[in-house]
């Protein structure tokens, strides 16, 4: 079985070349051909020795997930559905803006976290993606867009690991993928422009801080454990106090001097002024400096099985103003690609549910969304 070269960061590719009896500098040449030039045929890599190209032809291949469909929104957003085999598919979204091009990448086929407001979580979890399947989304999108837009320079300036899946639950494949994206011989992304989103996998946040610190976005969505337990079930394992401690530790290594908190606005659930004031107390305890952060308020993108409703615009503005008046940087995310189901929380792909998520979500919907303190104490630790 031949090796898929999209699975390797530069160090891994250098080791692969050494096993072929080649010098390590050949890996740099090969890496550039793959990621900067988008080459798929070894014979096209003209500055490689013919003997190396012959070795590669029998020991390696370049294979990104194949495209099942492509949809373009009226606002220019593009969504691709990629086939990752075994009946599974994942979605990737490109969001063009005047000053940047952002690619939203998936890390898993489905997601095991099961957040109430996320369509991906409702689909359940099938499997982790390989490094090649993660990098392959960027590799395809970058070189497709260059050809489509007739540009020779880099089109994608920002990457967010905010597609399908919980990236930090697929850490072994994620880490080399991040290194490929950051490498100057690859895509040359800035650490500030590469963002990993997490629902709060505390031990892996600590590992990422040491291994490859990039911008971090934390899916918070609630100011209290009692509410977050039911919106983000992972909170039962890593409650807010532990999560905030991990955020504080991460900031020591982070390329930015703040953590971004993602907050999905759910009508009558987490969008009241009282919730905003609780967030203020959470991040600015006793009026102190607290945790350096910004809030990104996300309009909920409804799907039938959620049983949830989007907060109205006036309520979102009031919520944002409450945070801003307390000195917390707050933005409201502009919805993009919702006419092609490419907006935040809408990515569903096509995965085989092996986690019984339908049953779990139905059970959650029978639970009162504001449980008593006594009930939440009994729930904790059962995740």
List the catalytic residues. Answer: 91, 344
Q: Are 96 and 76 in contact (CB under 8 A)?
A: yes
Q: Which two tokens stand for residue 148?
A: 């489509």
HSE-CB for 90 with a 13 A CA cutoff? 29
Helix axes 171-182, 202-211, angle to 10 degrees: 30
Q: 215 CB contacts (<8 Å, ≥6 apart)?
A: 191, 192, 193, 194, 195, 196, 254, 255, 256, 260
Helix axes 240-251, 202-211, angle to 10 degrees: 0
- DSSP sequence for 45-111: -TTS-HHHHHHHHHHEE--PPEEEEEEE-TTS-EEEEEEEETTEEEEEEEEEETTEEEEE---EEE-
The pairing of strands 293-299 and 329-332 is parallel
| Whole-angstrom distance, CA of residue 88 vs CA of residue 77 | 23
Q: Interior CA angle at 331 toward 330 and 337, to 5°?
A: 155
The pairing of strands 3-4 and 60-61 is parallel
- DSSP sequence for 340-371: GT-STT----B----S-HHHHHHHHHTS-SS-
Q: 325 CB contacts (<8 Å, ≥6 apart)?
A: none
The pairing of strands 194-198 and 215-219 is parallel
Q: Where are the alpha helices (DSSP H) in the chain?
A: 10-19, 25-31, 50-59, 119-123, 131-149, 171-182, 202-211, 225-231, 240-251, 273-283, 313-325, 357-365, 373-379
């Amino acid at each position: 079985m031949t090796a898929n070269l999209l699975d390797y960061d530069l160090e891994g590719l250098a080791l692969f070349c050494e096993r072929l009896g080649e010098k390590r500098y050949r890996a740099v040449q090969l890496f550039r051909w793959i990621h900067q030039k988008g080459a798929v045929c070894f014979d096209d890599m003209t500055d490689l020795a013919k003997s190396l190209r012959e070795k590669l032809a029998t020991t390696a291949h370049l294979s990104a997930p194949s495209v099942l469909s492509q949809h373009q929104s009226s606002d220019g957003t593009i969504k691709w559905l990629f086939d990752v085999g075994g009946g599974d598919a994942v979605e990737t979204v490109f969001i063009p803006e005047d000053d940047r091009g952002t690619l939203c990448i998936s890390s898993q086929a489905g997601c095991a976290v099961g957040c109430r407001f996320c369509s991906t979580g409702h689909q359940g979890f099938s499997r982790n993606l390989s490094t090649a399947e993660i990098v392959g989304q960027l590799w395809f999108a970058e070189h497709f867009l260059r050809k489509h837009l007739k540009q020779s320079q880099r089109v994608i300036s920002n990457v967010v690991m905010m597609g399908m899946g919980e990236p930090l639950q697929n850490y072994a494949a994620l880490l080399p993928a991040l290194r490929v994206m950051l490498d100057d011989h690859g895509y040359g992304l800035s650490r500030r422009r590469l963002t990993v989103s997490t629902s709060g996998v505390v031990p892996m946040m600590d590992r990422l801080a040491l291994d490859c610190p990039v911008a971090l976005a934390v899916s918070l969505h609630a100011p209290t454990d009692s509410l977050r337990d039911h919106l983000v079930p992972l909170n039962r394992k890593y409650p807010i106090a532990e999560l905030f401690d991990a955020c504080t530790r991460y900031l020591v290594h982070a390329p930015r001097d703040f953590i971004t908190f993602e907050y999905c606005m759910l009508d009558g659930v987490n969008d009241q002024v009282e919730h905003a004031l609780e967030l203020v107390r959470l991040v600015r305890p006793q009026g102190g400096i607290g945790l350096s952060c910004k809030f990104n308020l996300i309009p909920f993108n409804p799907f039938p099985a959620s049983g949830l409703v989007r907060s109205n615009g006036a309520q979102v503005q009031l919520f944002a103003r409450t945070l801003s008046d307390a000195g917390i940087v707050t933005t409201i995310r502009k919805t993009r690609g919702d006419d092609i189901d490419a907006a935040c929380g809408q990515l569903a792909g096509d995965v085989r549910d092996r986690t019984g998520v339908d049953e779990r979500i139905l059970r959650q919907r029978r639970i009162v969304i504001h449980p008593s303190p006594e009930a939440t104490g009994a729930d904790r630790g059962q995740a």
